Structure 1
């Protein structure tokens, strides 16, 4: 075409040739990453058991990663073309914009980033019995923004992932065994040996107990009008709550049947009488 001239000699110089090759490789990598990020995320979601990532959250994460890759590709392109002044201007502007946006969405971003760390670290999965902060229950749902726990009392607690990530987590489901720890207070008039033997019999008869682990039974405290006995043994973690409740009920029934008296709270009241002292009246004058 007339009016258009291409200086092939200039373009074929080694300096420009390497730049063209660098641009081609850079944007080839960008194209591959943008094209296959969604597939990688889908496979990751399928492989990680017990983690539910919402479709919308998956799409959002995919777009954010695409934008990040494209932005990096643009910066690399500017660096390859040796546009240093433009690069500095863009980085300065990007820094200011990032600070402004960061203040505006810092809570959302913190939850999102914490969700990714929870996804990778997996301190718990769906169905685990956990204690996070003051809340104990079963994990119902894990997303990139929040974690839902069904408490043992019934209500559902939705906790931001930024809170979850910075709070100590107790996971009762990681270890397949959990210790039953029950205390029983008996009155001081009760036969101590008979009470200890009754507790031992009830613990040994518990079929859901792990037989390989010994039963611990001892006097743990002596206080006003009561002797406190403690019985401990291990049971499968999934049955811990049921075993604890059933054993507590069996203890009350068996103690009543054998005439072993359980201690009841003793309340002491004190009556204090304050006598008001009256000063004698004095007559002034004659």
Structure 2
């Protein structure tokens, strides 16, 4: 009985010693992991915020794009910290990295169209073929830009309708920006009867164009015969004006031309 009691005591002491050793060992490991997690979280936040400030100062970088890069960097650093913590406990991190890679590939294949829109949105925000407030025209969409997002671009059509266009449809097609250049050319055509005085008609039209102060003197406006037949003549008008006043100038010029040609008894067809 004494031998059995002695063996129990020895076994108990051995177990307690081993448990004490393991507690000390894993206690420091757990403490180190906690410190690493907290420090990694703080470091990730500091680095991502610093990166945001640096990126946002770059000319041509949109705030949406800067925030996107900040979030990508922040969560990438957190994943790295998490994998490092698991390595502290003896976990084979190579298999975890391989699993993340496989999961990323699967997600990428599943969200291929979405990722195309994100990639197109990043390129649109970097290269800026259009900005908020500008009027653009593509084979897929046309209207004023309201907001450029990572997934889609919000627009307002000329008749006031809301339009959302996926970024990939805008990036993969030629974009005609009606608002980007400061000046824009206007072309008008007027058809008059063959009995009308062609030179008088040309002078009357030219005087109307020159009288409008919004019409640029350089390049100078021109009025010239563009087509001629037995019963009519076509006069072509070309002038330049500021893009911001292009539509208003067109309306006023056409109205004045109708009035002045009628007063000069020049028949139109």
- Residues 245 and 135 (structure 1 numbering): CA distance in 2 closer, same or farther, change over 3 Å? farther
Matched, 1:152 2:163: no
1:96 pairs with 99, 102, 106, which one? 102
Report the secondary structure of 1:196's partner residue. Answer: helix
- Once the two structures are superposed, residues 219-251 of structure 1 have per-residue CA deviations (whole angstroms, 9 ceiling, x without a partner) of 222357432211111111111111112111211
Corresponding residue number in structure 1 for 2:192: 186
TM-score by length of 2: 0.71
Report the secondary structure of 1:174's partner residue. Answer: coil
2:46 pairs with 20, 32, 35, which one? 35
Aligned-pair CA distance for 1:140? 1.7
Query: Hey, what's the Cα distance between the residues in 2 that align with 1:163 and 1:223?
Result: 45
Indicate conservation of the 8 Å contact 1:51/1:143, yes or no.
no
For structure 2, which runs of at least 5 residues remain unmatched after alignment?
A: 1-16, 26-35
Report the secondary structure of 1:3's partner residue. Answer: helix
Number of aligned residue pairs: give it: 236
Report the secondary structure of 1:184's partner residue. Answer: strand
Corresponding residue number in structure 1 for 2:122: 116
Indicate conservation of the 8 Å contact 1:111/1:144, yes or no.
yes
Report the secondary structure of 2:267's partner residue. Answer: coil
Corresponding residue number in structure 2 for 1:68: 76
Aligned-pair CA distance for 1:175? 1.7
- Residues 72 and 183 (structure 1 numbering): CA distance in 2 closer, same or farther, change over 3 Å? farther
Aligned-pair CA distance for 1:32? 3.5
Indicate conservation of the 8 Å contact 2:60/2:126, yes or no.
no
| Bigger fraction of residues in helix | 2
Query: Hey, what's the Cα distance between the residues in 2 that align with 1:73 and 1:251?
Result: 73
- Once the two structures are superposed, residues 233-286 of structure 1 have per-residue CA deviations (whole angstroms, 9 ceiling, x without a partner) of 1111111111112111211222122111111xxxxxxxxxxxxxxxxxxxxxxx
Matched, 1:3 2:10: no
Aligned-pair CA distance for 1:96? 3.5
TM-score by length of 1: 0.67
For structure 1, which runs of at least 5 residues remain unmatched after alignment?
A: 7-23, 264-286
Query: Hey, what's the Cα distance between the residues in 2 that align with 1:252 and 1:167?
Result: 39
Corresponding residue number in structure 1 for 2:249: 243
- Residues 3 and 71 (structure 1 numbering): CA distance in 2 closer, same or farther, change over 3 Å? closer
Query: Hey, what's the Cα distance between the residues in 1 that align with 2:230 and 2:157?
Result: 35
Q: Please provide the CA RMSD for this pair.
A: 3.8
- Residues 96 and 52 (structure 1 numbering): CA distance in 2 closer, same or farther, change over 3 Å? closer
- Once the two structures are superposed, residues 62-94 of structure 1 have per-residue CA deviations (whole angstroms, 9 ceiling, x without a partner) of 44432334446678x69x99x9x863x445544
- Residues 28 and 123 (structure 1 numbering): CA distance in 2 closer, same or farther, change over 3 Å? farther
